[in-house]
């Protein structure tokens, strides 16, 4: 094939240069899915579908024998007229009309036989027409298998990362996609489907002329429909243009198109699209070289389309496409070929700038993480100049990527760089985000421009991540570092620990006048602090640090003595210096008299410590000893216990009970007082007295009397329900609670309580359901199955979710769940009694519920509704909230699970049952999951759990399971699948047989994987031994990923390689160490590789 192909493209008509440029352009689209592929009729004809003439002939023949299918009892015509059949013969054979007009005539005939007897049936006629007008197309293009089952053209085209636009009516692209990816593609059935669409997923299919999947599709085949799409519908071109802009499409490739339909070419002619257009065309034997050149010239100059000849015969097209795909893949891999650290270091050391430019660009495309390590102590002015002119590298800097060594080298060489390079570097820093800078960038700014305001505005965005201010060479920049941290404390470290850190402890901060004014400005913004005590002020970490620096005389002023405004203009500075003076720590660098002379002694809110200051240093002011206060926002966090309005003592007779009831009522009308008496304290003391076993053992008769009085009183029952419940439980626990009290309590439910099974009284009901006597339980059971109205209860705590599935997280907060919980207890503890007395009533209650709730409850209590019918979605969810599925039930749940997989469903509590159903009963093709995949994060969770289940249970799994099929599906359809699979392999590497199978699937599906894997950190467990085979496999996985370009070379990889070698050494597997280090030297930093060799490799 290669020789035949090379002979073709090396001709003057289709030069190698043209072809290679074509491949370069297509390879570039893989980066951002920027390719649009237009598939014309030629791709369908290759499978045996007829051309336009044949289609129209068969359309007419079809309706000759199917007009009678349109007739019914209400039809205007009772039978098909012979003249109409004769007309169709004439139309097909002798009319001379264009194909489009012939289709118009057929549609008119269909409309005629959709006519109704009644004149008022226009809507019915229109509906009937829309249902049937595309009957032939549906039959011919969708229901009949084409002559040739495999479409080699489409199979090859699907290797492209592209959006597919086609004028074909058939579904062969979809079928080829489903066979390859075992899922359904995203299909837009006609151009109207582009309304309100975001960016389309890769390999989405737009049927621009419609596809007859549903009635009412705009199927463009007649003159009328062509006019509707291309003439009357002025938005068609706009829709295409808008969508391609959303896709960021910049390349259009025509395949199987003759380029004869001007309407189609016009759709892509907008200047705003800036599309580079190509068309694959057949070089017919009857076209001379000059003629071929004229054709290419015409399309290039008039239509802006570059013609690429694929061969002399139509059968050459799949061969060409296969070669094209291979060359695109090779070009892409060449562009993304791994660049080792050694190569980059050699480029820098040898000052090989051209190669460095290529290698650094490739390494950046590959997202290699060792790039900055290669810069350490190596860059010179030439290589720095190259880097700041490399658009990819600058783009990384502008996005906030942190390159410490690069900035360190720039800082060291800044004075030697030319003016243009220095200017570019400064602009990068000025425009940068806050995340890439450090002391080096601050030092560079200082070298460029020693101006406080400039340095503050441009340096503050990254200075608060500098851990060693000692490394900031200029004092001005160091002062700004302090101000930045005072203004907005760093998220990267604890500020007070930092200034006391041994490397930083001797740093002085020498303030200029501009810096001093900025300090005062920052402190004056902290207005709330001024209204609190000095203790609360010093709880603010930056202010505490400032006082510490004052005390240690580490803040000084460039001009010597601090100016008057320093002591006058910041009340916060005054309070810090006052506090230091009271502890005899007043700083030597400050002037105490200046402080004394600039304090406003009339300011009452100077803080309580000011009273001591005046007594010690300004007695002559004659100010009262308690004149100064802390401010309006001072608060005391000490908690005081709640106290009752009325003391409660253990009642010993009925009179005591009456008094307690009276006081409890009165307490409801009293307001909380400053002495901490409140209703909470009242309730707590009631429980303290009556909710204890000693009280019930000694005073059970009077306690029962209290409950009788409390339950019969509406006010007490409503307001003290929670307390009554707890007292009831205390009585039941000591077996002293009278049966009549329980009966009375239940009799009051509907009379007094708004929500019978609410949280307030549920505690007691739950106690009875589990621990009560059968006599007590019977009262509860009679209520649940005779009086409680489940159909009136909410199953949705969040009312907005009523149209969705019942979520367990939501359901547990509802009254319906309380009911279910009590019934569960009964079935568990008294199943025989339940089945004999209540089962039929319970089932009847469930069957009377609304659809969602009914099906959910049938699943929740599946043991009472089990049949052979297929399980519904809601029934499966209810079942999964109660039971673990078995294979028999899983077989009946396949339809429900399949439907759920194609929705936004994401219930964590159904995960295990879905996984088991997929493993044993549903293959990916059966699931028929549609793109774009909904709830993708949930699908990832399912996959991760399935992989882990497989790796842990492989020996127990039956032979016929679908795990490998699903691994294959995920690798082809889910971007994060590789990461999920490899993380699972790393955790379960001792299961070598299963891990080998999974890794084999990765390599076999390499071409579908577009996302590289950055290894998570591997930690070998101390309590587990690792076999030689498992360590060999771990090395094999790392090597295989690297060779196939699937591995991100990162610091975690370096760590993991070290851990693997360390584990091999523990077991004295020198042969494995030697082989593995031969692999790692291809990608590890030279110093890291050398360290491993010295430490672990024996001679």
Q: What percent of the chain has pLDDT over 90?
A: 67
Residue 366's alpha-carbon distances to 334, 1035, 1098, in angstroms, are 11, 22, 34
What's the pLDDT score for residue 452? 93
Using pLDDT thresholds of 50, 70 and 90, give the confidence band for residue 708. very high
pLDDT > 90? residue 833: yes
Confidence of residue 276 (pLDDT cuts 50, 70, 90): very high
| Whole-angstrom distance, CA of residue 877 vs CA of residue 321 | 47
pLDDT at residue 153 is higher than 80: yes
pLDDT, tens digit, 9 for 90 and up, residues 94-127: 888 999 999 999 999 999 999 998 766 678 888 8
Query: Which neighbouring-strand residues pair with 75?
Result: 116
What is the secondary structure of 88-147 as a DSSP string?
HHHHHHT----HHHHHHHHHHHHHHHT-BSSTT-HHHHHHHHHHHTTHHHIIIIIISPPS
> For 174-193, what is the mean pLDDT?
93
CA distances from 1096 to 239, 1020, 1055, 1060, 1092 (A): 64, 17, 15, 11, 6
pLDDT category, 588, cuts 50, 70, 90?
very high
879-918 pLDDT, tens digit per residue, is 999 999 998 899 999 999 999 999 999 999 999 999 999 9
Q: What is the pLDDT of residue 10?
A: 45
Q: Choose the weakest-confidence range: 259-273, 656-670, 936-950.
A: 259-273
Q: For the segment 359-388, what is each residue's pLDDT rounded down to a tens digit?
A: 999 999 888 888 999 999 999 999 999 999
pLDDT for 492 beyond 50: no
For the residues 768-787, what does the mean pLDDT come to? 91
End-to-end CA distance of the chain: 50
Q: What is the pLDDT of residues 305-319, one digit of tens each?
A: 999 999 988 899 999
Residue 697: pLDDT above 60?
yes
pTM, entire model: 0.79
The helix (H) or strand (E) run that includes residue 255 is strand 251-255
pLDDT at 491: 46
Distance separating alpha carbons of residues 571 and 107, to the nearest angstrom? 89
pLDDT score at 637:
46
Average pLDDT, stretch 59-72?
Answer: 94
Report how far residue 485's alpha carbon sits from residue 506's, in angstroms, rounded to the nearest whole number.
18
Mean pLDDT of the chain: 90
Question: What letter would DSSP give residue 560?
Answer: B
Q: What is the DSSP string of 812-869?
A: TTSHHHHHHHHHHHHHHHHHHHHHHHTHHHHHHHHHTS-HHHHHHHHHHTGGGT--SS
Calpha distance 327→21 (Å, rounded): 11
* Least confident span in 512-521, 574-583, 928-937: 928-937
Over pLDDT 70: what percentage of the chain?
Answer: 94
Question: In this predicted model, what pLDDT tens digit does every residue of 838-879 receive, in sequence order?
Answer: 999 999 999 999 999 999 999 999 999 988 789 999 999 999
Q: Convert the pLDDT of each residue in 616-674 to its tens digit.
A: 999 988 898 889 998 765 544 455 688 899 999 999 999 999 999 999 999 999 887 66
Neighbours of 1087 (CB within 10 A): 11
Does the pLDDT value for residue 562 go beyond 80?
yes
Q: Which residue has the higher pLDDT, 32 or 358?
A: 358
pLDDT at 218 (0 to 100)? 82
Stretch 129-136: mean pLDDT, rounded? 93
Residue 7 has pLDDT above 70, yes or no: no
SS3 category, 36: strand
Looking at residue 80, its pLDDT comes to 94
pLDDT of residue 285: 86
């Amino acid at each position: 094939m290669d020789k035949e192909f090379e002979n073709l493209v090396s001709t003057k008509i289709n030069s190698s240069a043209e072809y290679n440029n074509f491949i370069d352009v297509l390879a570039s689209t893989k980066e951002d899915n920027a390719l649009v592929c237009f598939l014309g009729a030629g791709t369908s004809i290759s499978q045996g579908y007829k051309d336009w003439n044949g289609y129209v002939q068969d359309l007419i023949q079809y309706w000759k024998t199917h007009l009678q299918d349109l007739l019914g009892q209400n039809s205007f015509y009772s039978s098909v007229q012979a003249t109409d059949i004769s007309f169709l013969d004439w139309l097909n054979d002798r009319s001379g009309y264009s194909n489009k007009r012939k289709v118009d005539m057929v549609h008119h005939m269909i409309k005629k036989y959709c006519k109704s007897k009644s004149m008022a049936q226009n809507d019915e006629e229109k509906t009937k027409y829309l249902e049937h007008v595309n009957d032939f197309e549906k039959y011919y293009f969708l229901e009949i298998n084409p002559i040739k089952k495999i479409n080699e053209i489409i199979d090859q085209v699907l290797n492209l990362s592209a959006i597919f636009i086609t004028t074909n009516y058939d579904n062969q692209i979809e079928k080829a996609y489903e066979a390859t990816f075992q899922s359904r593609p995203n299909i837009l059935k006609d151009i109207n489907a582009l309304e309100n669409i975001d960016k389309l997923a890769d390999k989405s299919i737009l049927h621009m002329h419609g596809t007859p999947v549903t009635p009412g599709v705009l199927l463009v085949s007649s003159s009328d429909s062509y006019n509707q799409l291309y003439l009357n519908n002025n938005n068609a071109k706009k829709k295409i243009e808008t969508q391609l802009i959303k896709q960021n499409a910049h390349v259009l490739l025509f395949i199987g198109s003759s380029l004869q339909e001007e309407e189609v070419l016009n759709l892509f002619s907008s200047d705003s699209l800036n599309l580079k257009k190509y068309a694959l065309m057949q070089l017919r034997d009857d076209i001379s070289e000059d003629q071929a050149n004229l054709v290419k010239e015409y399309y290039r100059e008039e239509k802006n389309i570059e013609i690429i000849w694929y061969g002399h015969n139509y059968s050459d097209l799949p061969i060409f496409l296969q070669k094209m795909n291979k060359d695109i893949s090779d070009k892409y891999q060449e562009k993304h070929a791994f660049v080792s650290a050694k190569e980059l270091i050699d480029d820098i050391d040898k000052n090989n700038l051209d190669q460095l430019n290529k290698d650094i660009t490739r390494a950046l495309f590959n997202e290699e993480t060792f790039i900055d390590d290669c810069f350490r102590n190596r860059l010179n002015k030439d290589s720095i100049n190259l880097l700041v002119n490399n658009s990819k590298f600058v783009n990384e800097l502008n996005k906030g990527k942190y390159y410490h060594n690069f900035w360190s080298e720039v800082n060291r060489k800044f004075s030697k760089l030319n003016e243009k390079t220095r200017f570019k570097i400064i602009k990068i820093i000025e425009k940068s985000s806050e995340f890439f800078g450090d002391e080096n960038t601050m030092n560079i700014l200082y070298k460029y421009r020693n101006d406080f305001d400039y340095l503050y505005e441009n340096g503050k965005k990254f200075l608060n991540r500098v851990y060693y201010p000692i490394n900031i060479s200029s004092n001005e920049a160091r002062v700004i570092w302090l101000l930045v941290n005072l203004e907005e404390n760093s998220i990267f470290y604890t500020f007070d620990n930092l200034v006391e850190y041994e490397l930083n402890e001797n740093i002085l901060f020498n303030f200029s006048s501009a810096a001093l004014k900025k300090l005062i400005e920052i402190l004056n913004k902290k207005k709330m602090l001024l209204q609190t005590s000095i203790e609360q002020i010093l709880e603010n970490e930056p202010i505490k640090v400032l006082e510490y620096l004052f005390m240690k005389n580490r803040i000084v002023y460039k001009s010597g003595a601090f100016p008057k405004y320093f002591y006058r203009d910041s009340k916060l500075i005054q309070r810090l210096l006052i506090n230091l003076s009271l502890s005899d720590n007043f700083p030597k660098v400050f002037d105490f008299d200046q402080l004394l002379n600039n304090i406003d002694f009339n300011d009452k809110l100077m803080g309580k410590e000011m009273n001591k200051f005046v007594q010690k240093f300004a007695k002559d002011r004659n100010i009262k000893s308690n004149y100064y206060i802390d401010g309006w926002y001072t608060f005391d966090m000490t908690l005081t216990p709640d106290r009752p309005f009325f003391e409660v003592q253990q009642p010993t007779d009925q009179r005591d009970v009456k008094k307690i009831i009276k006081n409890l009522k009165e307490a409801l009308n009293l307001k909380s007082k400053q002495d901490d008496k409140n209703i909470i304290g009242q309730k707590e003391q009631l429980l303290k007295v009556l909710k204890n076993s000693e009280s019930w053992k000694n005073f059970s008769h009077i306690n029962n009397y209290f409950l009788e009085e409390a339950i019969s009183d509406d006010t007490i029952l409503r307001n003290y329900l929670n307390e009554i419940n707890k007292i009831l439980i205390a009585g039941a626990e000591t077996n002293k609670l009278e049966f009549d009290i329980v009966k009375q309590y239940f009799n009051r439910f509907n009379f007094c309580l708004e929500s019978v099974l609410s949280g307030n009284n549920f505690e007691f009901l739950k106690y009875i359901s589990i621990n009560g006597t059968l006599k007590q339980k019977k009262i509860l059971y009679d209520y649940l199955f005779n009086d409680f109205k489940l159909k009136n209860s909410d199953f949705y705590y969040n009312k907005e979710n009523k149209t969705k599935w019942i979520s367990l997280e939501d359901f547990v907060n509802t009254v319906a769940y309380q009911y279910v919980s009590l019934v569960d207890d009964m079935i568990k503890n008294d199943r025989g009694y339940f089945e004999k007395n209540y089962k039929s009533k319970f089932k009847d209650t469930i069957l009377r519920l609304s659809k969602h709730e009914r099906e959910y409850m049938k699943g929740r209590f599946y043991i009472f509704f089990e049949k052979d019918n297929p399980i519904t979605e809601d029934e499966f969810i209810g079942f999964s909230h109660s039971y673990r599925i078995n294979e028999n039930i899983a077989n009946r749940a396949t339809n429900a699970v399949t439907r759920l997989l194609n929705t936004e469903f994401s219930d964590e509590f159904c995960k295990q049952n879905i996984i088991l159903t997929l493993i044993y009963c549903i293959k990916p093709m059966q699931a028929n999951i549609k793109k774009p995949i909904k709830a993708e994060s949930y699908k990832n969770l399912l996959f991760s759990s399935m992989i882990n289940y497989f790796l842990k249970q492989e020996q127990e799994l039956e032979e016929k399971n679908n795990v490998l099929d699903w691994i294959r599906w995920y690798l082809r359809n889910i971007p994060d699948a590789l990461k999920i699979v490899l993380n699972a392999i790393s955790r379960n590497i001792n299961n070598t047989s299963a891990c080998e199978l999974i890794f084999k699937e990765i390599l076999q599906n390499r071409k579908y994987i577009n996302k590289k894997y950055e290894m998570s950190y591997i930690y070998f467990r101390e309590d587990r031994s690792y076999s030689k085979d498992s360590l060999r496999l771990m090395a094999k996985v790392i090597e295989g990923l690297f060779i196939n370009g699937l591995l991100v070379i990162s610091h975690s990889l370096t760590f993991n390689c070290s851990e693997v070698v360390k584990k091999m050494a523990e077991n004295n597997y020198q042969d494995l160490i030697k082989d593995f280090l031969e692999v790692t030297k291809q990608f590890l930093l030279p110093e890291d590789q050398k360290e491993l060799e010295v430490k672990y490799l024996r001679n």
